[in-house]
Amino acid sequence: MAWGWGVREGLIRTTSPLLGWLVALMLFGAILLVDVLAPPEVDFSAFYLVPVIWLTWCRGTREGLAMALFCGVGWYLHVILSGRYASSEWYRLWDALNKQLSYLLGAWAVGALRREVLVQQSLNQQLQASMAEVRELKGLLPVCAWCHQIRDDQGAWQPMEVFIQQRTGASATHGICPSCLEKADPELSSLRPPD
Q: Write down the pTM of the prediction.
A: 0.62
pLDDT digits (tens, 9 = 90+) for 21-31: 999 999 999 99
DSSP string, 166-195: HHH-PPP-----HHHHHHH-HHHHHHSPP-
Q: CA-to-CA distance for 82 and 146, rounded, in angstroms?
A: 94
Instruction: Return the pLDDT at 138.
Output: 66
Instruction: Return the pLDDT at 173.
Output: 81
Residues of the chain with pLDDT below 50 are 1-11
Beta bridge partners, 11, equal 8
Instruction: Return the pLDDT at 62.
Output: 94
